[in-house]
């Protein structure tokens, strides 16, 4: 396959993890809509051991309407089915802060895609709460498909006409750099329900995970909380452009 074709295939594969497979239709759910202000409480905790970060967060909905958490990031299992694991979270570094995010990622400037995949949602009904726990193994690996697509595109543009760079392309695209971090920022996206939203379980096996259309990515708001860790830990970040 030509270099350009391999790059495009790589970008497409990376972005597919942002959306679940469209399976057989199941029963549609009508969420409760309220014009009253949201009454949400966000609590979270992050702990570090020598081998992992453990994360727990809770969103409590004391309002009169439902709220959607944009937190169900699909990955592909070994048999090519979409799975929605609690540990599926976007990971990247900002200085000495490791950012763990469950949200709809913004399309990077200059990256052209035919389709942008987004997470599915959790519905938190009025007067109810939702708690999720997950772990991130250490050293933490950067996992941000939009950022990776931007890096890959810059790399491809930088090696045009360079036969030696083309030969090592596969190795360089997978390269990572060790970097320290001492803080963790947890980011969870949410959106109020609108009358035009339609919710449907992704499958009979996952009745509490919903796809929604139109998707609320343009209306998402963010819960954010930063934690200072005792001591420094290591992350494996994407190797950035320029590569030298």
For the residues of 46-115, what is the DSSP string, one character each? EEE-SSEEEEEEEEEE-SSS-EEEEEE--EE-TTS-EE--TT--EEEEETTEEEEEESPPPPPTT---S-
Looking at residue 11, its pLDDT comes to: 43
Q: What is the pLDDT of residue 173?
A: 62
pLDDT given at position 26: 58
pLDDT of residue 88: 97
Q: Write out pLDDT tens, residues 118-170.
A: 999 999 999 999 999 999 999 999 999 998 888 877 777 777 767 666 666 66
Residue 237 near residue 179, CB atoms below 8 Å:
yes
Block residue for tokens 């409480």: 41
Q: So what's the pLDDT on residue 165?
A: 65
Per-residue confidence (pLDDT) for residue 13, from 0 to 100: 39
- The closest of 171, 194, 200, 173 to 25, measured between CA atoms, is 200
The position carrying tokens 């005792």 is 230
Which among 209, 237, 46 is positioned nearest to 135, based on CA atoms?
46
Other beta carbons less than 10 A from residue 116's beta carbon? 16
**Residue ranges of the chain whose pLDDT lies below 50:** 1-25, 244
């Amino acid at each position: 396959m030509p270099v350009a074709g391999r790059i495009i295939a790589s970008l497409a594969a990376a972005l597919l993890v942002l959306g679940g497979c469209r399976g057989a239709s199941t029963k549609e759910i009508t969420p409760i809509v309220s014009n009253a202000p949201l009454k949400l409480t966000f609590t979270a905790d992050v702990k570090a051991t020598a081998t992992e970060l453990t994360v727990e967060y809770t969103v409590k909905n004391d309002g009169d309407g439902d709220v959607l958490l944009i937190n169900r990031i699909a990955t592909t299992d070994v048999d090519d089915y979409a799975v929605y694991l609690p540990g599926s979270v976007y990971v990247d570094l900002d200085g000495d802060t490791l950012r763990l995010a469950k949200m709809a990622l913004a399309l990077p400037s200059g990256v052209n895609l035919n389709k942008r995949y987004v997470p599915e949602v959790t519905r938190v009904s009025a007067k109810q709460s939702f708690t999720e726990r997950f772990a991130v193994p250490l050293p933490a690996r950067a996992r941000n498909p939009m950022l990776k697509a931007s890096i890959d595109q810059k790399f491809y543009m930088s090696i045009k006409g360079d036969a030696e760079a083309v030969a090592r392309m596969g190795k360089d695209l997978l390269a990572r750099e060790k970097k320290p971090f001492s803080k963790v920022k947890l980011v969870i996206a949410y959106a109020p329900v609108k009358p035009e939203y339609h919710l449907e379980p992704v499958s009979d096996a996952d009745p509490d995970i919903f796809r929604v259309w139109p998707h609320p990515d343009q209306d998402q708001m963010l819960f954010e909380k930063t934690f200072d860790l005792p001591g420094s830990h290591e992350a494996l970040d994407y190797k950035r452009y320029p590569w030298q």
